[in-house]
Amino acid sequence: MPSAPGGSLLQSVRRDIASMKTRGAGEIGRQAALALAGAAKAFRGKSLAEFRSRMREAATMLAAARPTAVSLRNGLNFVLAGAMTQKTLDAARREVVLRAERFATDVTLAKKRIAELAAKELSDAERILVHCHSTAALGALVEAQRQGKRPIVFATETRPFRQGLITSRFLKENGIDVTLIVDSAALHVMETQRVTRVLLGADAVAADGSLYNKIGTRQVTLAAKSLKIPVMVCAETFKFSPYTLEGEEVVIEERDAAEIVDAKELPGVKVHNPVFDRTPPEQVTVFVTDAGRVVPRDVAKFIRARFGGEKRWI
Ligand code: RUB
């Protein structure tokens, strides 16, 4: 909604999400929900119908910025319900703002709960491999460290965007023993460094129990399976996809080849940059959610219990 008041805020949040200035599934969901509240406050029209259609348009535009992360659509639908269910413009605006604030708070609370639950599962001095940068997974490590468990972490670099550097810096700042490795060293390091667990975040969890997360997750979890190392995924409830219950497939986002290499260095060479992948359920041991542990075969039941009957607008 570029011409509407609030349009520039929406555009700048969308740009930050699309360019990965704001990134990580939880954070982009939180920022998008708050942007919708900002647009609701700035709406100057007089009709509820126009408000609803502007809100929906804005939510659709924000959700398209990163298509794999279902946290975006789940958060935006939760906020949109405020616009769609209230009977007056004022009440609708108020409810949108309240819901956005509640979602933003829930994002933080869910991470805290997951940190407590996941940390409980970790033993003292566990040797843990992490991939990419998941604030939900890192919360568990910080909590374990706070409890004196002293985890020893190996962080993959995570090409091409190198989120592993953010992870390593964060862990170091929190006093946690961390070693950065290149992605292709994952299997070798798991074996030679006696890694006992792989710890991950999620962009989406599908009804069949499969996990969508940063590209390379599938390889890391396959390596873990070959060495019988358990894979624990920290995933807030809003990372579970109700759309997949109805058979919708999770879209794997592809990004600009320039993130991998400057085209001028390789004239005529095609470059392909899928940034997420699908890990099948048999490569995940458990999802630790804010509502407790969920094993892959119970994911459909979990999604039905959490989202069943809820209306969705985008
Ligand atoms: C980030 C990524 C993270 C999940 C979970 O990908 O794959 O593992 O988003 O993150 P990108 P969080 O860098 O492309 O956004 O636990 O912080 O929600």
Give the strands of the sheet with 152-156, arranged side by side: 177-181, 152-156, 127-130, 197-200, 231-234, 286-289, 292-294
Distance of CA 228 to the CA centre of its chain: 26
Question: Is 134's C-beta closer than 6 angstroms to any atom of ligand 1?
Answer: yes
What confidence score (pLDDT) does residue 1 get?
42
* Greatest extent of the chain over all pairs of C-alpha atoms, in Å: 66
Q: Is there a catalytic annotation at residue 124?
A: no
Pocket test for ligand 1, best of 171, 212, 214 (most atoms within 8 A of CB): 214
Count of alpha carbons within 13 angstroms of residue 65, beta-carbon side? 29
Spell out the alpha helix ranges (H) of the chain.
Answer: 7-18, 25-42, 48-63, 70-85, 89-121, 135-146, 163-173, 186-192, 217-226, 299-307
**pLDDT at res. 135:** 98
pLDDT for res 3: 46
Report the distance separating Cα 306 and Cα 235, nearest Å: 14
Residues 6+ apart with CB under 8 A from 46: 89
User: Residue with the nearest Cα to atom 3 of ligand 1?
Assistant: 134
Residues across the chain: 314
**Residue 94, Cβ density class (10 Å: 0-12 exposed, 13-18 middle, ≥19 buried):** middle
pLDDT in tens, the chain (314 residues): 444 446 799 999 999 999 999 999 999 999 999 999 999 999 999 999 999 999 999 999 999 999 999 999 999 999 999 999 999 999 999 999 999 999 999 999 999 999 999 999 999 999 999 999 999 999 999 999 999 999 999 999 999 999 999 999 999 999 999 999 999 999 999 999 999 999 999 999 999 999 999 999 999 999 999 999 999 999 999 999 999 999 999 999 999 999 999 999 999 999 999 999 999 999 999 999 999 999 999 999 999 999 998 999 99
Q: Which residues, at least 6 apart from 189, have a Cβ–Cβ distance to it below 8 Å? A: 129, 154, 181, 195
Tell me which residue has its CA closest to atom 1 in ligand 1.
Answer: 24
Based on the residue annotation, tell me whether 234 is a catalytic residue of this protein. no
Choose among 78, 54, 72: nearest CA to 13: 72
* Matching residue, tokens 């219950």: 245
In three-state secondary structure terms, 205 is strand
* Residue 30 CB–ligand 1 contact under 6 Å: no
Q: Of residues 90, 106, 124, 203, which has the active-site annotation?
A: 203
What local confidence, expressed as pLDDT, does residue 2 receive?
42
Q: Is 197 in the pocket of ligand 1 (CB under 6 A)?
A: no
Task: Look over the chain and give the mean of its residue pLDDT values, rounded to a whole number.
Answer: 97
Rounded CA separation 204/199 (Å) = 15
Q: Is the CB of 25 under 6 A from ligand 1?
A: yes
Query: Whose Cα sits closest to atom 10 in ligand 1?
Result: 134
**Measured in whole angstroms, how far is the alpha carbon of residue 103 from the centre of its chain?**
14
Tens digits of per-residue pLDDT, 73-111? Answer: 999 999 999 999 999 999 999 999 999 999 999 999 999
Distance from the Cα of residue 59 to its chain's centroid: 17
Radius of gyration of the chain (CA): 20
Query: 239 CA to middle of ligand 1, Å?
Result: 11
